[in-house]
Structure 1
Amino acid sequence: MRLSDIEHVFFDLDHTLWDFDRNSALAFREIFRKQKIEIDIDDFLQVYKPINFRYWELYRNNSVSKEDLRYGRLKESFDSLRFEACDTTINLIADDYIEYLPNNNHLLEGSLDVLAHLSKTYKLHIITNGFEEVQQRKMMNSGILDFFQTITTSEEAGVKKPHPQIFEKALQKSEALPQKSVMIGDNLEADIIGASRFGLYAIYLSSEDQVSQNQFPQIQKLKELLDYL
């Protein structure tokens, strides 16, 4: 089903275009070597990923601060592995992670081709809850920054997706009407339901183990987006 009358396409960044899991793993490998953290990286990531996911949910709901997220996800991961790390070490790793993360530039399969194709017809934009100091660096280093006319971050908007105010801010910046806009993202609540409630069309990018029954169009690969646009 192709969407008609669309002029603006809004994307989430992490896990939608930018391969967060792969780039994050590479950053941790480098940091652990630097800090001489003797933990198997695969063991660490197996523990860290669900903890990090939970902290981002808390952050999105304003239940923890940015600083709490950066420290807490590492502290809980090390504690789960029974690895003793002092606060100084944890804070150093947290700082290094923000510095190293954008140095890796892997994109999800098909991202460049899809963006190149869509940019010929539509105006492209980013709406992200990610930290403002790293999101633009991620896009620049991965070669996708020039595809986008606007970037709206949660820190700029003062609220996080799915709050309607961030979508209102993004539409104002892009001079877009919600009924002529579509949002693509990997988080059903933050990206899809949030955008839909504000009047945008929404397409859910799910992984094979996330497929769910809902009223929104679902894709599992970015190239499938071209069936709608």
Structure 2
Amino acid sequence: MLKTVFLDLDDTILDFARAEAAALRRALTEADVPVDGAVLARYHAINAAQWELLEEGALTREQVLLGRFDILFGELGLVRPAGEICRRYEEYLGEGHWFIPGAEALLEALAPRYDLYLASNGTAEVQYRRLESAGIRRYFRGIFISRELGADKPSSVFFERCFAAVPGFSRACAVMVGDSLTSDIRGGRDAGLRTCWFNPHGKPTRADIVPDYEVSALEQLPALLETL
């Protein structure tokens, strides 16, 4: 019987892409960096690639946080202080709390039935601010953020430290739900959990990372979890 549900935050509960674009536009504009749709899209692609390298253990967190800006500025032929711009970007990012459609109703539906835990790779200060501004921290019995745990998804260390903090934890009674194949699904499967991939855009799966379940809308999740 299902008891414990681990939920990713970014692009599963909160719309990270929208918050990212708003924060990035403010930070870059203040630094006199020309900003248009192409620049935002390129940063998004660079950022995603850098985080995947972190998930694979090829980069450290600090390398990702600064490197994404260094790469962007290099491509634009600009010299800017990556550390300062990153600081301002994360400050603005903490203010963004747009919801993925159906997320608020999902939390309301799941919280009385299951023990909900947040499992996020985000920066702790940013994620806590977003949770507070969105008013959803109350739904979670625990919040696990990689920087505080000293390990990132999808590493087994991240998940084992989560498990150790959950009273009476049982893998057989738990599931990991998230939008990232490389982080949430691979990490959950490697840690011995059942996994559910939230895939609203119909992305193709990977032969080496196969989720146990898949939903295209958050509204589908409560009925699925009832069967587990």
TM-score after normalising by structure 2:
0.90
SS of the residue corresponding to residue 203 of structure 1 reads strand
Instruction: Measure, in 1, the Cα distance between the counterparts of 2:211 and 2:46.
Output: 29
Instruction: Measure, in 1, the Cα distance between the counterparts of 2:195 and 2:35.
Output: 41
Amino acid at match of 2:213: P
Amino acid at match of 1:137: R
Shift of 1:177: 1.0
Asked if 1:212 corresponds to 2:208, the answer is no
- 2:29 and 2:35 in contact (8 A); partners too: no
Asked if 1:58 corresponds to 2:50, the answer is no
Amino acid at match of 2:62: E
Q: Which runs of 5+ in 1 are unaligned?
A: none
Q: How does 1:1-229 map to 2 (within 5 A)?
A: 5-40=1-36, 42-80=37-75, 82-86=76-80, 88=81, 90-175=82-167, 176-212=169-205, 214=210, 216-229=212-225
- Over residues 153-190 of structure 1, what are the superposed CA-to-partner deviations in whole Å (9 max), with x where a residue is unaligned? 22232222222222121122122211111110111132
SS of the residue corresponding to residue 223 of structure 1 reads helix
Shift of 1:107: 1.3
Instruction: Measure, in 2, the Cα distance between the counterparts of 1:168 and 1:215.
Output: 19
Instruction: Measure, in 1, the Cα distance between the counterparts of 2:154 and 2:211.
Output: 17
Instruction: Measure, in 2, the Cα distance between the counterparts of 1:54 and 1:180.
Output: 33
SS of the residue corresponding to residue 10 of structure 1 reads strand
Shift of 1:36: 3.1
Q: Name the stretch that deviates more: 172-181 or 153-162.
A: 153-162
Instruction: Measure, in 2, the Cα distance between the counterparts of 1:136 and 1:70.
Output: 18
TM-score after normalising by structure 1:
0.90
Instruction: Measure, in 2, the Cα distance between the counterparts of 1:108 and 1:26.
Output: 16
Shift of 1:215: 5.0
Q: Name the stretch that deviates more: 152-161 or 16-25.
A: 152-161
Aligned residues: 221
Q: Which runs of 5+ in 2 are unaligned?
A: none
Change (3 A) 1:121 1:215: closer
SS of the residue corresponding to residue 94 of structure 2 reads helix
Amino acid at match of 2:41: Q
Shift of 1:59: 1.7
SS of the residue corresponding to residue 211 of structure 1 reads coil
SS of the residue corresponding to residue 148 of structure 2 reads helix
Instruction: Measure, in 2, the Cα distance between the counterparts of 1:152 and 1:215.
Output: 22
